Structure 1
Amino acid sequence: MFAVFRRIALWFALAGGAAACGLALLTVVSIAMRATVSKPIPGDVELMQMGIALCISLYLPWCQLQRANIIVDFFTQKLPQRPQRALDGIGSVLLAVMCVLLSLRTGAGALAVSGAGETTMIIGLPMWWAYAMLAPGLALTALIALWQGLRQLRGLDAGTPAPADGVPS
Structure 2
Amino acid sequence: MRLLLRKITWLFAVLGGLVALAVGVMTVASVSLRFFTTQPIQGDVEMVQMGVAVAISLCIAWCQLRGANIIVDFFTQNASARTTRWLDGLGCVLIAVMYGLLAWRTTIGAFAVHEVNETTMTLELPMWWAYASLAPGLMLAALVALVQAWLHFTGQDLQTLQGERQGEFA
Contact 1:152 1:159 in 2 (8 A): no
Contact 1:113 1:128 in 2 (8 A): yes
Contact 1:88 1:159 in 2 (8 A): no
Contact 1:148 1:157 in 2 (8 A): no
Unpaired segments ≥5 residues, structure 2: none
Amino acid at match of 2:138: L
Contact 2:2 2:160 in 1 (8 A): no
Residue 9 (str. 1) matches residue 9 (str. 2): yes
Provide the residue aligned with 2:28 in structure 1. Answer: 28
Distance 1:36 1:157 in 2: 55
Q: Secondary structure at the match of 1:119?
A: coil
Provide the residue aligned with 1:108 in structure 2. Answer: 108
TM-score (norm 2): 0.93
Residue 90 (str. 1) matches residue 59 (str. 2): no
Contact 1:67 1:160 in 2 (8 A): no
Provide the residue aligned with 1:141 in structure 2. Answer: 141
Distance 1:110 1:92 in 2: 26
Unpaired segments ≥5 residues, structure 1: none
1:123-142 superposed matches below 5 A: 123-142=123-142
1:2 CA displacement: 1.7
Provide the residue aligned with 2:45 in structure 1. Answer: 45
Select between 156-165 and 7-16 the one with higher mean Cα deviation: 156-165
RMSD: 1.7
Amino acid at match of 1:136: P
Distance 2:157 2:17 in 1: 29
Contact 1:60 1:141 in 2 (8 A): yes
Distance 1:140 1:161 in 2: 14
Amino acid at match of 2:143: L
1:144 CA displacement: 0.5
Provide the residue aligned with 1:156 in structure 2. Answer: 156
CA deviation profile, 1:103-143 (whole Å, cap 9, x unmatched): 01100000000001100000100111111111000000000
CA deviation profile, 1:50-98 (whole Å, cap 9, x unmatched): 0000010011010111111111111012111000000000000111111
Taking a change above 3 Å as real, the CA distance of residues 88 and 166 of structure 1, as seen in their structure-2 partners, is farther
Provide the residue aligned with 2:60 in structure 1. Answer: 60
Distance 2:158 2:10 in 1: 22
